[in-house]
Chains A and B, each alone.
Chain A
C-alpha cells in the first residue's frame, strides 16, 4: 500500500527579499521565576493529581466516556472542541463525544460516536459537524483494523449530521489530497447557504492512484500541483452530501528560495533522479525533492477572522497573513519568519480589533516536555506580531511562555485557545497540555503577561515504570485546547476527560471585567473561525474600563472615583433621567482624556457610557 504520509517538502526560514525585514529587532523572552510557583511539585495522579489555580476555579470535571478510555498511547486521546447551542463537541482520535452543557457544573454525555479518525478536530455549523481526518489508519467506514486497501483510506474531512445530538450520522467523507490535520470554517460573505472549509494538511499529496487529481509537483506556481496549496472544500449547507473540493489556495507561491544546496544537502543515497511521471518507486526521489524545494507548502492551522476578511495561517517556518474577501480566491498579504528558530507553525489568533496577532510554536509536537526549567524560553510558546494598517507588514514583538517550569513527566507546549471577551483587553486562554490552562494578557504587544491559570500535577509519577496497569510511564495528557464560551472556559483533557472552569476575580481581573465578558454570548463558536466580539451597552462594561484605568493608573485617582460615583448615581435613576446623567458623564469623561496616561482607554470608556445613555432612553 502506498501511504499518503510522505516526506514533507523542505521548509526554510529564508523569505524572499521583499518579505524579509532588513534588520530584525531583538525580541524579548522571559525567564522562569526563581521563586517557587504553586504549580511546582503538584502531586501526580491521573484522577487524584494536585491542583493549583489562580483567578480560576474548576467548575466540573467529567471522565472520558468508557469507549475512549480503553487504550494507552495516543489511540484514544481527546482533541479539539467546537461549541453550538448548549452542546460541546469534543474530538477524539477514535471518534467524538457530544456533551450537553446546559448545566456546566454537570455536563452530560449526549452521545459518543466511535469512528477512528485521528486527529478528529471538530467544527460545528448548524446541524453539521465537520471532523478532520489525517491518520494513515483511518477508514471510510470508521472501523478499526487499519487500512488494508488504499481505497478504504479516509483522509480529509468527515461530515456528520448532528441534528439529533444523541444519534450523529456520518453523511459524507470528503477526501483531500493532503489529508486534514485541522480545518477552518469560513462562511461565504455573500451566500448564507455556503461555507468553505480550509483544510490544513501536514503531509505531501497522495498519489493520483489513491486519489485522482492529486499531484506532488515541484513548481509552486503550477496550478495542478496539489502540494503547494491549502485545500478548500465548498459545502452547500442544504445539501452537505454535495460538499466538494474546489481549487486550493495558492498562498505559498513566491516563498520558495533558490536552492543552492544540491551539492551538499542531500546524502548520496538520496540523490536520485526525479521520479518519472507514472513510473518508478514513489519513494525514490522524495527526500531529494524535499531538499531541493525549500518553501513552505503546508500550514498546521489557519485562523480566520471573517468579519475582517483576514486569515492568519501558521505554516511552519512562516506566519502568513491572507486576504479572504473572496474565500475562493485568497490572496497573501504578508509573511514573516523568526530568527530564533521559533516555528510559527501551529496556531494563530487575532486581537479583537485585528491589529495584533499571536502565534504558537508546538515545539516537540505536543508530546514532548518542553516547559522544563532548562527548556529554551523562545521556543514552545507564543509570539506576538502586530499588523500594519494596510496589512502589508508584520512586526514581531515578544515571546510568551508558560511562566512555570513543568516536570519531565509533563508533555507541555503552547497549544490551542481563544480570546476571552473582556472589553479593553486582549486576553487569550489556551491549553498547554500538561502545563495546564493559562490566560495570557497581550494588550501590550511588547509585554505579554499571565493573569490566570489552572494546572494539575503530572499524570505519572517520576520513575513510575509499572506497566501492570497497561499504562505507559510517560502518559500524554493535559489540555489540548481551552476556550471561553458563554461565561465558562472549556478544556479538552487528552487523557482524563473534560474540564469546565470559571474565571474568578483578583487583582489582575476584576468582577466587573468578568461580568462584562459574560455579556458576550455566541450561539455557535468554532475557535479557528474567530468571531468579532461586541459588547451590549451595560454598566459592567463601563466599570470594566474603569477598573482597568484604576489598575494601570491610566487616569488620576480622583477622576476614577468621580466616574465611579457618577455611575452609581446614574444606575439608581431610570429612563430619561438615567440617559441624561450618562450623557453628562460621557461629556465629563471626554474632558478627562487630556492629561490622562491612557487616553485611548478613557475614550473607550466614554464611548461605552454614550452607548449606555442611548440604550437608556
Chain B
C-alpha cells in the first residue's frame, strides 16, 4: 500500500467536505487523539437531552465513516467489478453527507466535531487495521473485490455494534437526532451487508 495514495484520497475527500470542521474549541489540531478519546473532555450541559455516550458515538462514527470512504474511493483505481464499484459509490455518496450531519449535530451542541482525518487516530469497532488497509490497497481486480467486500462487511458490522453499544448504554440514544441517525445507520448498513454478501458469493472462486 502506498500511504501517499490514501493520504491523497483523503485530501480530496477533505476538500469535498469543505475542509476540516470549524468546531468550537478545535484549537491546534488533532494530535493526541486515540481510541474513543478525542483528546478533549466531553462536558454535558445540565439538562441536555443527550449523554456522553451520544457525543462519543457521533465523534467516533465520523472517523468510522471517514475510513469507509477512503476504502470505497480505492475501487475505481483498483479494478473493482462494476457491481462492486456501484456499491462503493453508493457507500461513498451515503456517508459523506452523514459525516456532515454528525458534524452539524456536534457543532450545534457545542461539542468537538472531528474532521475526516480523525480515522488516522481513532479506532472504532470494525475499522481496518493498518495491515488490513495495506492488504486492500495492494489488491487489484477480483482480489480487490474480495478484500473490499470482506473488509467492508467487517467495517459495517462494526458500525452496527457501535449502535448496539450506544443503545445499551443507560439513557443514551434518546436525543431525537442521535436516535434517528443511529437507526438510519442500522437500516442502511444492514441492507448493504446483505448486498455485499450477495456480491461476495457471485465472485469467481479463488
Contact = CB atoms under 8 A, between A and B. Distances in A.
A545 interface: no
A13 B195 contact: yes
A193 B66 CA distance: 54
Interface in A59-83: 72-75
Interface string A236-261: 00000000000000000000000011
Given A72-B108, A118-B176, A146-B49, A13 B93 contact: no
Contacts of B158: 267, 270
A65 B171 CA distance: 29
Contacts of A147: 171, 174
A294 B104 contact: no
B105 A5 contact: no
Contacts of A266: 154, 157
B102 to A, nearest CB: 11
A203 interface: yes
A389 to B, nearest CB: 30
A286 B168 CA distance: 11
B108 A472 contact: yes
B121 interface: no
A12 interface: yes
Nearest to B155: A267
Contact of A364 (B49, B97, B108, B125): B97
A365 B184 contact: yes
Interface in B134-176: 150, 153-154, 157-158, 160-161, 163-165, 167-168, 170-176
- A72, A294, A408, A474, most chain B CB atoms within 10 A: A474
B194 A367 contact: no
Contact of A287 (B164, B173, B194): B164
Interface in A1-39: 1-14
A529 to B, nearest CB: 24
Interface in B166-206: 167-168, 170-177, 179-184, 186-188, 190-195, 197-198, 200-201
B194 A317 contact: yes
Contacts of A374: 93
B194 A136 contact: no
- Specify the main secondary structure of chain B where it touches its partner: helix
A375 B93 contact: yes
Nearest to A9: B190
A75 B177 contact: yes
Contact of A5 (B86, B108, B126, B167): B167
Interface residues of B, number: 57
B22 interface: yes
A83 to B, nearest CB: 26
A266 B142 CA distance: 21
Nearest to A378: B86
Interface stretch (A218-226, A319-327, A338-346): A338-346
Contact of A136 (B86, B97, B126, B167): B167
A135 B198 contact: no
Contact of A11 (B94, B174, B191, B201): B191
Contacts of B192: 341
A350 interface: no
Contact of B190 (A7, A74, A283): A7
Given A287-B164, A341-B87, A8 B186 contact: yes
Contacts of B78: none
A528 to B, nearest CB: 19
A615 B193 CA distance: 59
Interface string A352-375: 000000000001110111100011
Interface of A: 1-14, 72-75, 93, 118-119, 135-137, 146-148, 202-203, 260-261, 264-267, 269-270, 281-283, 286-287, 290-291, 294, 300, 316-317, 340-341, 343, 345, 363-365, 367-370, 374-376, 379, 408, 465, 467, 472-474
Interface of B: 22, 49, 86-87, 89-90, 93-94, 97-98, 100-101, 104-105, 107-108, 125-126, 150, 153-154, 157-158, 160-161, 163-165, 167-168, 170-177, 179-184, 186-188, 190-195, 197-198, 200-201
8 contacts: A6-B168, A9-B190, A13-B194, A136-B173, A147-B171, A343-B191, A367-B180, A370-B93
